[in-house]
Amino acid sequence: MHAIGVDIGGTKIAAGVVDDRGEIVAQVRRETDADDTASIDAAVADACKELLADHEVGAVGLAAAGFVSPDRRSVLFAPNIAWRNYPLAENVHELLGLDVPIVVENDANAAGWAEFAFGAGQDATDMLMLTVGTGLGGAIVIDRQLVRGKWGVAAEVGHLRVVPGGHYCGCGHEGCWEQYASGSALVRDARAALVAYPTRATRMLELAGGDPEALKGPQITQAAQEGDPLAVDLLATLGRWIGEGAASVAALLDPELIVIGGGVGAAEELLLQPARAAYEEQLSALGHRPTARIELAKHGNEAGIIGAADLARI
Amino acid sequence: MHAIGVDIGGTKIAAGVVDDRGEIVAQVRRETDADDTASIDAAVADACKELLADHEVGAVGLAAAGFVSPDRRSVLFAPNIAWRNYPLAENVHELLGLDVPIVVENDANAAGWAEFAFGAGQDATDMLMLTVGTGLGGAIVIDRQLVRGKWGVAAEVGHLRVVPGGHYCGCGHEGCWEQYASGSALVRDARAALVAYPTRATRMLELAGGDPEALKGPQITQAAQEGDPLAVDLLATLGRWIGEGAASVAALLDPELIVIGGGVGAAEELLLQPARAAYEEQLSALGHRPTARIELAKHGNEAGIIGAADLARI
Amino acid sequence: MHAIGVDIGGTKIAAGVVDDRGEIVAQVRRETDADDTASIDAAVADACKELLADHEVGAVGLAAAGFVSPDRRSVLFAPNIAWRNYPLAENVHELLGLDVPIVVENDANAAGWAEFAFGAGQDATDMLMLTVGTGLGGAIVIDRQLVRGKWGVAAEVGHLRVVPGGHYCGCGHEGCWEQYASGSALVRDARAALVAYPTRATRMLELAGGDPEALKGPQITQAAQEGDPLAVDLLATLGRWIGEGAASVAALLDPELIVIGGGVGAAEELLLQPARAAYEEQLSALGHRPTARIELAKHGNEAGIIGAADLARI
Amino acid sequence: MHAIGVDIGGTKIAAGVVDDRGEIVAQVRRETDADDTASIDAAVADACKELLADHEVGAVGLAAAGFVSPDRRSVLFAPNIAWRNYPLAENVHELLGLDVPIVVENDANAAGWAEFAFGAGQDATDMLMLTVGTGLGGAIVIDRQLVRGKWGVAAEVGHLRVVPGGHYCGCGHEGCWEQYASGSALVRDARAALVAYPTRATRMLELAGGDPEALKGPQITQAAQEGDPLAVDLLATLGRWIGEGAASVAALLDPELIVIGGGVGAAEELLLQPARAAYEEQLSALGHRPTARIELAKHGNEAGIIGAADLARI
């Protein structure tokens, strides 16, 4: 059965028809306004209609960057879109007038599910997905089931506290994992290093055009791939935080596979090797248990579409 | 259907017949030797036989303090009993010659399940059990399913790292949660306080007969219940670590209920109030989500028997 | 002997004639431009000349917010003024054409010295000054001598690391004391609290006109003085960080007196009480040694003038 | 002028005649009993008398492992000898009947002074001594003066707190520097590593005869010098904690030289290189200030004798 998946961001939406093997057979996009929720409903419905003109689908899944109600119908709260207890599925259903199941899923859960069903995790039963981007998102699969939590708010992995009294987080707390294990943390640490150790930072400073504040993540990866020791160190620090935090998750969940998504994956072994080493160093009872694999995600930006579509037809 | 549950400790075993409502209708005990695994098999079988003389049962569950294989047949490793990849269920089956299912479960999981099925969690679907004793044990229930992990090693909650570079743990790592949130941590902190702030510690010192090293957990609780400020502070610190760590778990799992078991429960509100306050203070997205209840366990030492029996008949 | 003290800030300078008892008998001000160091030289000289018209002085002390050379003649580096290895004393000497000693002192050292010589520390021999403002500045007096360090950079107390992996600091490092024990930290924590615990934060939010980002330090103090529990907690947290850090300094220096300066002093006992409690709790060997007093500074903004003048005539 | 220095330990004392260049020209030893303070007085006097038979001396310095009164006459408190407000100098004076100055100094201060006056620090004016042994002792020299503090308790560097909530310390607190930067910490971490990463630890386990608890510090150094990666890592971790803590001290005191004493010095560059790297990484305002040298001590066990003798004649 084909299904539509829609990835709803603050400023644009992407919708696609997804087949049984997780392939996107058609895709459309729309611009949106994060403050005008009715227009988002309309854009979602409009995008779906365009796809429905040429494709028969049995379900629609909507990936939303926010807290989703346990019945998968509403968005309870979203940080970047004006959704508050918002009946997203019902609204889209009314606009679409189509008699198929429409469900809402958290976007990180959708992306993680795409990886589980059709990507790095397709042979696994118990998986932790970590999406290392602006923040640290995640998804948890236990015994082939996506973990949504009692109120739909599970897998907010970025807010595991890893350092008491640690870095401030936008959530109002201190020491959240995403302040150490995210692309933002990498860039912030690199910029601080340009200030603190100017003599070690020449290559990155050059790539940033001489302005520490202009430094971007891919430039750090590039410098590291060229062999710049400071950039290598920075990626190793990021990898270490990923691995150490994952070991804490493993103490709770004993996964067989940890999948790393997000742009920092471009650093490949420069990131994975320290992540794996730190994971093993921190894993309790190492030697008395198998150790989870840590691998890169196979899907990129389209994971939200694929996962939302697939979760809708389950 | 009645089932037998057996709680196997290092020096003794307790076996009971458990009915459908989680009541123990008969119970027997045996002494054992932690280094002689064959004698443990024999003692388990012998205890079961005594119970079987008067009771008809449909299943046998063995609660073991160790890592249990995912097929619930063997103990992979135990810290205090000489089990290494040990076929416990099969051995007991051969000795018992009874044609009913025999399964092995981790003892903390069994105790947590007793609480879930017949105790504080019987109306819940998603529960975190924390057994605050010598260490910090736990059990995780998601959507009414016990979480065992890919290799049977899930819910080792005590080894979540809460302080990088923190207290040494017997597992070889630093900063494990159980070094902050356990009865042992409470006693250790109290003894340190007797050294560091002798003038504040008079009541506890008195209860300990003047010897800091002789201080026991119940004396701390007693002093606190009498109003001793230092003892109250110590229990509050324990409660805070329980609550803060639980908030990290909640970031991953979004439970509706957190159950606190173990001897420190005797402190009641002196422990629960700070645990709840810390949980709410550390919970990400407070105000945009419901908050889990934190309650005391209803079962005591017999939880292992009850949970193992019930898990065996599922 | 009278002496002139000049406190040189980024946008203005204040100069005064100081008598032997630390009283300012005359004072003048000038506006300056932080990027134009020659104009600062000229403004300093001009202010001095105005004072010299009516007063006879035997020395001139210049308090500069930067690293000062050990010979007290130059500013090695300043974060907010364009001084780099800048011969400040010599320049002022040439412009002034006056044959008296002219010395440069770090501004926090000057302020601390004013407190030592004429304020809270005038009966002490060993003192730690902590100026809790935008950052955390300090001064150290050992056996009646100001500690300047080998290269003039001592007493940068704000950059003692108190939390590994802790809050980012403008210096490029993590976990610096001033990120926990400063007015900025207080305001930042309060703003975060308005986000994280909106229901507890009503009074402060009201004082801030409903906008968390508009909250100012004095409003926190006001709310605390009115009895608002969250504001009281925030000041207690600040006090605790002050006291705990001071205990680390005491492990090194064994002072008899710790003086707290800066605007947060307005909170008085709401700050001092938790600072003293935390200091005692963290002090090693408490009970086997006397405990330093912790008191508020007696001088306000004029401490830099007074201290610089007095240090110039020593 | 020659002087006698006496290093008083819990079970033995060593006394020597020290010349103006810090050379020991004669030395004697005595056994003592830590619980019998009068016998220690007698043994000290007896050892001095033996030396005085052949040598003319102008002063006697007694190095004591405890808190020494600011007037250098008494021991306020000692952890391992039964001294409590004990008039050590007076007692020895009466027994000795010699009309020369007799002073008491803290043993770590004495050892640091030996290094300052006749060892690695003889060209320095501002020095931090770190004695990395069972604990972490220290001495501070500022502008050629030994810093004793208001009450004689300065330079207890081992109790600087480096990790809030960190390792327990015998002093009753948590996270003291000596729990991370001492020979004991090295051995403890190594033993934990043998448990946590058995496959990486083969060489050290071999040197320890197969028993983790039998592992000693010199075996870690030996394994590291042979190239064992885990042992190299462990020494690097020790070095890093030394360097990072020293950077915090430098924020306060701006020393020109940091001297590392104690048995771990045998590891030489395997320890110093990471210590220096960590010091520079953590030093605030690196690039705007000179960086202190970090060097090994030149004196070994005799430093206490030499320093006590020299401090007595100042």
Nearest residue in chain D measured CA to CA from C286: D171
Contacts of C286 in chain B (CB under 8 A): 196-197
What residue segments make up the domains of chain C, in order of their start? Answer: 3-113+302-312, 123-297
Write the residue in B196, B280, B287 that is nearest to C286 by C-beta: B196
Question: How many beta carbons lie within 10 A of that of residue D290, not counting itself?
Answer: 11
Stretch C304-309: mean pLDDT, rounded? 98
Contacts across the A-B interface (CB distance below 8 Å): 141
Summarised one tens digit per residue, pLDDT across range C53-102 is 999 999 999 999 999 999 999 999 888 899 999 999 999 999 999 899 99
Query: What single letter denotes the amino acid at residue C144?
Result: R
| SS3 of residue A298 by DSSP | coil
Q: So what's the pLDDT on residue A197?
A: 79
Whole-number pLDDT of residue C269: 96
pLDDT of residue B222: 97
Chain segment B162-172, per-residue pLDDT in tens:
999 999 898 88
Q: Please tell me the predicted confidence (pLDDT) of residue B104.
A: 98
Q: What is the pLDDT at residue A56?
A: 96
D122-142: pLDDT as tens digits: 999 999 999 999 899 999 999
Dihedral angle computed from the Cα positions of residues A83, A85, A86 and A89, in that order, rounded to the nearest 10 degrees: 130
Q: Do residues D60 and D101 make contact, with C-beta atoms less than 8 angstroms apart?
A: yes
Q: What is the C-alpha to C-alpha distance for residues D241 and D120, in angstroms, rounded to an integer?
A: 21
Per-residue confidence (pLDDT) for residue D200, from 0 to 100: 83
Superfamily of domain A122-297: ATPase, nucleotide binding domain (3.30.420.40)
Look at residue C161 in the predicted model and tell me its pLDDT: 97
Q: Which residue of B has its CA nearest to C196?
A: B286
Mean pLDDT across D254-273? 96
CATH class, range D124-297:
alpha beta
CATH class of the domain at D3-113+302-312: alpha beta
Cα distance between residue D273 and residue D292, in whole Å:
14
Do B78 and B66 form a contact (C-beta atoms < 8 A)?
Answer: yes
CA D261 vs. chain centroid, Å, equals: 7
Amino acid A240: pLDDT: 97
Residue D80 has pLDDT above 90, yes or no: no
**Residues B51-72: b if buried by 16+ CB within 10 A, e if exposed:** bbeeeebebbbbbbbbbbbbeb
Q: Is the pLDDT of residue B279 over 90?
A: yes
Tell me whether residues C156 and D285 touch, CB distance under 8 A: yes
β-pair type (B24-31, D60-64): unpaired
Please check the confidence at residue B200 and state whether its pLDDT lies above 90. Answer: no
Dist CA B126 CA B128 (whole Å): 7
CB contact under 8 A, C287 and B165: no
* Residue for token pair 């610190």: B237
Q: How many angstroms from the chain centroid is the CA of residue A181?
A: 12
Q: Residue D287 and residue A198: Cβ atoms within 8 Å?
A: yes
Chain A touching partners, 3 or more CB pairs below 8 A: B, C, D
Position A269 scores a pLDDT of 96
From chain C, the residues in CB contact with B196 under 8 A are: 281, 286
Does C197 have pLDDT greater than 90?
Answer: no
| A165 interaction partners in chain C (CB closer than 8 Å) | 163, 166-167, 175, 180
* Sequence-distant (≥ 6) Cβ neighbours of residue D21 within 8 angstroms: D118
- In the CATH hierarchy, which top-level class contains the domain C123-297? alpha beta
- With a cut of 80, say whether residue B196 has pLDDT above it: no
B-C Cβ pairs (cutoff 8 Å, strict): 19
Q: Do C156 and D126 touch (CB under 8 A)?
A: no
**pLDDT reported for residue B195:** 79
| Spatial separation of the C-alpha atoms in residues D254 and C155, rounded to whole Å | 8
Question: Residue D185 — pLDDT band, cuts 50, 70, 90?
Answer: very high
Interface pTM, i.e. ipTM: 0.94
Contact D153 C244 (CB under 8 A): no
**pLDDT over 80 at C196, yes or no:** no
Q: Do domains D3-113+302-312 and D124-297 have the same CATH topology?
A: yes
Q: Report the pLDDT value the prediction gives residue A196, as an integer from 0 to 100.
A: 77
Is residue A313 within 8 angstroms of chain B, CB to CB? no
* C291 has a chain D CB within 8 A of its CB: no
Interface check for B218 against chain D (CB to CB < 8 A): the answer is: no
> Per the CB < 8 Å rule, is A248 touching B160?
yes
Of chain A residues 186-215, which have a CB less than 8 A from chain C? 188, 192-193, 195-197
| Predicted confidence pLDDT, tens digits, chain A (314 residues) | 999 999 998 889 999 999 999 999 999 999 998 889 999 999 999 999 999 999 999 999 999 999 999 999 999 988 889 999 999 999 999 999 989 999 999 999 999 999 999 999 999 999 999 999 989 999 999 999 999 999 999 999 999 999 999 998 988 899 999 999 999 999 999 998 887 777 888 899 999 999 999 999 999 999 999 999 999 999 999 999 999 999 999 999 999 999 999 999 999 999 999 999 999 999 988 888 899 999 999 999 899 999 999 999 98
* Pairwise CA distance, residues C11 & C33, whole Å: 6
Residue D231's pLDDT is what?
96
C neighbours by CB contacts (3+ pairs under 8 Å): A, B, D
From residue A213, give the alpha-carbon distance in Å to each of A237, B61, B198, C42. 20, 61, 52, 34
Q: Give the Cα separation of C312 and C97 in Å (integer).
A: 17
Percent of chain A as helix, strand, coil, to the nearest 5: 40, 20, 35
Among D139, D150, D80, smallest CA distance to D108 is for D139
Q: Is 80 exceeded by the pLDDT of residue C45?
A: yes
The CA distance from B15 to the nearest CA of chain A, in Å, is 28
Q: Note whether D172 contacts B: Cβ–Cβ < 8 A.
A: yes
Look over chain D and give the mean of its residue pLDDT values, rounded to a whole number. 94
pLDDT band at C131 (very low <50, low <70, confident <90, very high): very high
Given this model, what pLDDT does residue B188 score? 93
SS3 C6: strand
C168 touching chain B per CB within 8 A: no
Residues paired with residue B196 on neighbouring β-strands, in sequence order: none
> In this model, does residue D225 exceed pLDDT 80?
yes
Q: Are B154 and B147 in contact (CB under 8 A)?
A: yes
- Give CA C243 to chain center in angstroms: 17
Q: What is the reported pLDDT for C172? A: 84
Residue B198 has pLDDT above 80, yes or no: no
- Residue D245's pLDDT is 98
* Structure-model confidence comparison of residues B78 and D144, the more confident one: D144
